[in-house]
Amino acid sequence: MKLQGGQSWKFETKPRIKGSATVVGPKEGQGPLGSNFSYVYDNLEIDESTWEKAERRLFERASSLALVNANLTKEDVQFFIGGDLMNQIISASFAARKLAIPYMGVFGACSTSMESLALASLIVDTGGANYSLAGTASHNCTVEKQFRYPTEYGAQKPPTAQYTVTGSGCAIIGHANQGVIVDCATIGRVVDMGLKDPFNMGGAMAPAAADTILSHFKDMGRGPEDYDMIVTGDLASVGLPILKELLNKQGVDTEKTEMNDCGLMIYDRETQPDVFAGGSGCGCSAVVTYGYLLKRLEKGELNRILVVATGALLSPLSYQQGESIPCIAHAVALESGG
């Protein structure tokens, strides 16, 4: 059975990531992982007239490069699963308009990267497609404009705030002789601890990450020692210590494997202090996973990792009405494939 336990899928046919691509903005290119990305723009405008068009271009370029890297055309791909943070996920939908691939839009906030990868892998594993494309994107200025204050406003932020990544990551999943294996996935539950501060996403999302990791270990009969790395996205410097504390309280020894966070990996907080607690956004875990982490798996530096993408499911309207922040996390296990 593909269903494992209460909320996990074991992919029996071992679908693989046949090709991937990551496209980022200048700040991401200047960070410690800059050399791992497929393309780095030298301007935040991404050569467009609006921030929203800039985000769309990131998505379009990443998806096109993923096809090239997989040595496929868009006619070879049966389904595109994608989403983003914009109202009505317009970046993904407008990119799908250009791709003209049958499309399913999904929203998991910053967890969309692993949500789309899990669904694309399930479709391939069940024989519903030969190839599926999964991807997501974010842009610093579109997110600030929609969820907080436009950057032109110059609003001050607390140290718990995170800096939205400008970037897009896409992957093509199918059956191949080579490529990183998508081993299994755990679909998260919505967890809401009553936090209402949109400038403390790490603290809000950490309990959801803990819940999904614990469910994954239970469903798959695994523990932290079964992974070379467990990486979250994006709890940053506030949320990652909280996650470790929550897991330790449940009897999970977090010292048995390396635990890191995509929001901490993509920037150097000493030389890039304006990122505050670290990176966030749909593009954060996508570009770190499909850029840096896949390369390490392909080289054999890592054998098996668990990527746990986290999302804060708030909207401007829910915040204005005083609602707390419901959060979710989706986990996907990736293997080097030999």
Whether residue 263 is found in the same domain as residue 326: yes
Q: Residue 184 has what pLDDT?
A: 98
Q: Could you say which of 133, 152, 174 is where a domain stops?
A: 174
**pTM of the predicted structure, to 2 decimals:** 0.97
Q: Could you say which of 112, 147, 174 is where a domain stops?
A: 174
What does the mean pLDDT of the chain come to? 96
Whether residue 185 is found in the same domain as residue 231: yes
Q: Could you say which of 121, 141, 174 is where a domain stops?
A: 174
For residues 127-144, average pLDDT: 96
Whether residue 160 is found in the same domain as residue 189: no
229-286 confidence digits (pLDDT tens)? 999 999 999 999 999 999 999 999 999 999 999 999 999 999 999 999 999 999 999 9
16/119 Cα distance (integer angstroms): 13
Q: How many domains does the chain have?
A: 2
Whether residue 202 is found in the same domain as residue 161: no
Whether residue 260 is found in the same domain as residue 297: yes
Whether residue 112 is found in the same domain as residue 259: no
Instruction: Specify whether the CB–CB gap between 185 and 235 falls below 8 A.
Output: no
Q: Residue 338 has what pLDDT?
A: 67
Whether residue 193 is found in the same domain as residue 83: no
∠ Cα 309 311 312 (to 5°): 160
Whether residue 23 is found in the same domain as residue 121: yes
Percent of the chain with pLDDT over 90: 92
Full domain range(s) for residue 192: 180-335
Whether residue 155 is found in the same domain as residue 235: no
Selected residue with higher pLDDT from 309 and 143: 309
What is the identity of the amino acid at 182? V
Q: Residue 1 has what pLDDT?
A: 67
Helix (H), strand (E), coil (C) string for 233-301: ECCHHHHHHHHHHHHHHCCCCHHHCEEEEHHHHCCCCCCCHHHECCEECHHHHHHHHHHHHHHHHHCCC
- The CATH number of the domain where 19 resides is what? 3.40.47.40
Whether residue 327 is found in the same domain as residue 214: yes
169-222 confidence digits (pLDDT tens)? 999 999 999 999 999 999 999 999 999 998 999 999 999 999 999 999 999 999
Within 13 Å of residue 239, how many CA atoms lie on the same side as its CB?
Answer: 38
6-64 confidence digits (pLDDT tens)? 999 999 999 999 999 999 999 999 999 999 999 999 999 999 999 999 999 999 999 99
Whether residue 13 is found in the same domain as residue 73: yes
pLDDT band with cut points at 50, 70 and 90 for residue 337: confident
4/1 Cα distance (integer angstroms): 7
Whether residue 104 is found in the same domain as residue 205: no
